[in-house]
């Protein structure tokens, strides 16, 4: 069996690693227990978490044992990594509820039967710690000047880094120490924005227990232009079907930029890499077939085969000129026109006032993304294969054609 490090590297997951040679050897020698943490900042995981879940799934398929950690303790503080402002403080009830939601969602991706994976909540130990005892146990292992130099705090300088947030690195480092003691955990994985926090845990294990452990980060889910992927006009792309429907989820991946198709196929599906490269090499109109494969495969993993088939059938009916989609009214439009003007001229709205009210009430969508700007101007990107779909209210569809 191939070394899982090579699998992750070939598919484009790996950003940084503490000691590649030793970690490769460890993967060859034993079944490695590793962990990834998920702080319960909402009641659903989102597309940004999905890449970590896929990395975890590849690790498990290669025979290694995941620990899925939900942050019932760290969630009380909030991770400052990559943020310019302080996270909203959650109540204990919200944190507990969100943790339970995360546990259910993670179980769709990871096999917990027969001890193949472990689910833990760091609130079980962090909430019981005595502050003075914690300072005496690990305080001397962290130097303030090194902590202040960490990337995870840099964006907080302008508005001020609170002492509350400053403790986050210590808490995450302590998690790694505790998991190593309890389960023999030897590897922490996470997004590349977690590198400083992961290094803190690796160092803490070395200083306290003289234990060799490792850190590995995966690349963040970004577009080819470097911007974060997984954001829609309505906010995050959620993995919960109640927050982002399987159809909306499918359509998001169906409409990714051509330049992002191969990367998404490699990171977010289990397709063999030969097939990923073949699909990613398609050009012009043919790349749309690769996008359909991407949308189907990702939706199948997240929502199941039945929902993926429903989303695919609905999309083909709507955009493929078959079924219900063939009967929807057509409205002529041009790039550079205001969407509201187009819809009024096309008799979709009786007046601009009606259109403004619906937009302000979040009742209008363009290609499955809510329109929030009454002055929205149509662009080339809005027209896939020369068409765009407007949804008015819950049931009325209109096809914009150039």
Domain count, the chain: 3
**Do 84 and 187 belong to one domain?**
yes
Q: What is the pLDDT of residues 381-396, one digit of tens each?
A: 888 777 888 888 766 7
Q: How many CB atoms lie within 10 A of CB 372?
A: 12
The structure's pTM equals 0.77
**Do 240 and 150 belong to one domain?**
no
Q: Helix H segments across 149-218?
A: 151-154, 163-166, 168-183, 195-209
321 pLDDT band, cuts 50/70/90, is: very low
Q: Is residue 266 part of a domain?
A: yes
Q: What is the CATH number of the domain that holds 206?
A: 3.40.50.620
Q: What is the widest separation between alpha-carbon atoms in the chain?
A: 74
Last residue of a domain, one of 320, 342, 370: 320
**Distance between CA atoms of residues 358 and 366, nearest Å:** 13
Q: What is the CATH number of the domain that holds 310?
A: 1.10.240.10
Q: Is residue 325 part of a domain?
A: no
Last residue of a domain, one of 218, 251, 266: 218
pLDDT at 325 over 50: no
168 is known to lie in a ligand binding site: yes
**Do 12 and 154 belong to one domain?**
yes
- The domain of 45 spans 4-218
Last residue of a domain, one of 162, 190, 218: 218
159 is known to lie in a ligand binding site: no
Q: Is residue 226 part of a domain?
A: no
Q: Is residue 95 part of a domain?
A: yes
131 is known to lie in a ligand binding site: no
**Distance between CA atoms of residues 321 and 319, nearest Å:** 6
Q: What is the CATH number of the domain that holds 341?
A: 3.10.290.10
**Do 40 and 19 belong to one domain?**
yes
Q: Is residue 223 part of a domain?
A: no
pLDDT at 144: 77
Residues across the chain: 402
174 is known to lie in a ligand binding site: no
Q: What is the pLDDT of residues 178-233, one digit of tens each?
A: 999 999 999 999 999 899 899 999 999 999 888 899 999 999 988 887 888 877 65
**Do 171 and 294 belong to one domain?**
no
**Do 187 and 286 belong to one domain?**
no
**Do 40 and 156 belong to one domain?**
yes
pLDDT at 276: 97
**Do 362 and 245 belong to one domain?**
no
Least confident piece of the model among 165-169, 279-283, 309-313, 371-375: 165-169
- Average pLDDT of span 91-104: 90
Q: Which long-range contacts (CB under 8 A, 24 or more apart) does 307-315 make?
A: 307/241, 307/246, 308/246, 308/250, 310/246, 310/247, 311/246, 311/247, 311/249, 311/250, 311/251, 312/250, 314/247, 315/247, 315/250, 315/251, 315/254
**Distance between CA atoms of residues 70 and 100, nearest Å:** 9
**Do 172 and 65 belong to one domain?**
yes
pLDDT at 272: 97
**Do 48 and 152 belong to one domain?**
yes
142 pLDDT band, cuts 50/70/90, is: confident
**Do 76 and 161 belong to one domain?**
yes
Share the mean pLDDT of the chain: 87
87 pLDDT band, cuts 50/70/90, is: low
Least confident piece of the model among 213-222, 297-306, 308-317: 308-317
Q: Is residue 149 part of a domain?
A: yes
**Do 179 and 202 belong to one domain?**
yes
């Amino acid at each position: 069996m191939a070394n899982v490090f090579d699998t992750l590297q070939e598919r484009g997951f790996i950003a940084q690693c503490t000691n590649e040679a030793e970690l490769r050897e460890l993967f060859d020698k034993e079944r490695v227990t590793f962990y990834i943490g998920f702080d319960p900042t909402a009641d659903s995981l989102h597309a940004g978490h999905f890449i970590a879940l896929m990395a975890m799934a590849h690790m498990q398929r290669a025979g290694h044992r995941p620990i899925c950690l939900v942050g019932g303790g760290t969630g009380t503080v909030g991770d400052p990594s990559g943020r310019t402002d302080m996270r909203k403080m959650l109540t204990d009830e919200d944190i507990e509820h969100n943790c339970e939601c995360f546990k259910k969602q993670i179980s769709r991706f990871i096999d917990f039967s027969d001890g193949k994976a472990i689910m833990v909540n760091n609130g079980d130990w962090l909430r019981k710690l005595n502050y003075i005892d914690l300072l005496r146990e690990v305080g001397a292992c962290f130097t303030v000047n090194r902590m202040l130099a960490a990337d995870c705090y840099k964006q907080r300088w302008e508005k001020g880094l609170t002492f509350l947030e400053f403790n986050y690195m210590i808490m995450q480092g302590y998690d790694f120490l505790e998991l190593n003691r309890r389960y023999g955990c030897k590897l922490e994985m996470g997004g590349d924005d977690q590198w400083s926090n992961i290094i803190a845990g690796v160092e803490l294990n070395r200083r306290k227990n003289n234990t060799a452990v490792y850190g590995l980060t995966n690349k963040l889910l970004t577009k080819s232009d470097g911007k974060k992927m997984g954001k829609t006009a309505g906010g995050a792309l959620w993995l919960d079907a109640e927050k982002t429907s399987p159809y909306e989820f499918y359509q998001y991946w169906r409409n990714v930029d051509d330049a992002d198709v191969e990367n998404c196929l490699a990171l977010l599906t289990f397709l063999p890499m030969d097939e990923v490269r073949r699909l990613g090499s398609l050009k012009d109109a043919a790349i749309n077939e690769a996008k359909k494969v991407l949308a189907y495969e990702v939706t199948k993993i997240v929502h199941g085969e039945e929902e993926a088939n429903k989303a695919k059938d609905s999309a083909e009916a709507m955009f493929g000129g078959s079924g219900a989609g063939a009967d929807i009214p057509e409205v002529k439009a041009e790039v550079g026109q205001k969407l509201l003007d187009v819809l009024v001229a096309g008799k979709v709205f009786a007046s601009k006032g009606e259109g403004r009210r619906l937009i302000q009430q979040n009742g209008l969508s363009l290609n499955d993304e809510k329109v929030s700007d009454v002055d929205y101007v149509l662009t080339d990107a809005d027209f896939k294969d020369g068409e765009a779909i407007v949804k008015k209210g819950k049931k009325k569809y209109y096809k914009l054609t150039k």
